[in-house]
């Protein structure tokens, strides 16, 4: 359980973050949820599994729903396909109670998170800084 101070810190972190940093935080939360779901499956804790897969599905679903196809073009289309794949795998993992279906979405989210971290790092560099 998060303490009151940890929750306040999280809220402050989200409210002061750029949209790119928020995306990274969402990926982090989805990855953590998938890892918790794996633990729930392995320990036969159906409540934990259901709650954490549900959280991962909610996060990926939200990321999917906010894609901007006008500005994102082919990248947004590719992300839509990837998010749809992840959602299908997460649902299958939940229904079949099989952690193997969590690995693909986990790997995809880790890869995407690293890409967004790169974008966030570039945004924080001062204008004209050497790369």
Residue 48 lies in a domain: yes
For residue 32, being part of any structural domain is answered with: yes
- Which residues, 6 or more positions from 96, have their beta carbon under 8 angstroms from its beta carbon? none
DSSP 126: P
What pTM was computed for the model?
Answer: 0.81
pLDDT tens digit string along 51-67? 999 999 999 999 999 99
Answer yes or no: is 129 within a domain: no
Least confident of 37-41, 45-49, 99-103, 122-126: 122-126
Alpha-carbon span 109 to 82, nearest angstrom: 10
Say how far apart CA 129 and CA 83 lie, in whole Å: 34
CB 57 within 8 A of CB 91: yes
Domain that holds residue 26: 19-119
Domain for residue 128, yes or no? no
Q: What is the mean pLDDT of residues 65-74?
A: 92
Q: Quote the CA–CA distance of 19 and 66 in Å, as a whole number.
A: 12
| Residue 102 in domain | yes
Does 73 reside within a domain?
yes
Which CATH number is 67's domain given? 1.20.120.340
Q: What is the pLDDT at residue 5?
A: 58
pLDDT band at 123 (very low <50, low <70, confident <90, very high): confident
Query: What percentage of the chain has pLDDT greater than the value 70?
Result: 82
In total, how many domains does the chain have?
1
In a domain, 110, yes or no: yes
- DSSP assignments along 2-48, one per residue: --HHHHHHHHHHHHTS-HHHHHHHHHHHHHHHHHHHHHHHHTT-HHH
**Closest by Cα among 34, 10, 52, 30 to 116:** 30
What digits encode the pLDDT tens for the residues 8-40? 555 555 555 678 889 999 999 999 999 999 999
> Which of residues 85 and 13 earns the better pLDDT score?
85
């Amino acid at each position: 359980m998060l303490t009151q101070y940890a929750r306040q810190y999280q809220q402050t972190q989200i409210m002061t973050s750029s949209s790119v940093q928020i995306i990274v935080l969402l990926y982090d939360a989805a990855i953590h949820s998938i890892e918790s779901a794996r633990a729930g499956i392995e320990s036969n804790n159906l409540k934990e599994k259901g709650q954490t897969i549900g959280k991962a599905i909610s996060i990926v679903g939200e990321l999917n729903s906010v894609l901007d196809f006008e500005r994102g073009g082919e990248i947004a289309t590719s992300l839509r396909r990837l998010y749809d794949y992840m959602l299908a795998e997460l649902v299958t993992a939940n229904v079949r109670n099989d952690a193997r279906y969590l690995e693909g979405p986990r790997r995809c989210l880790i890869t995407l998170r690293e890409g967004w971290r790169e974008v966030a790092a570039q945004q924080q560099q001062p204008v004209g800084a050497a790369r």
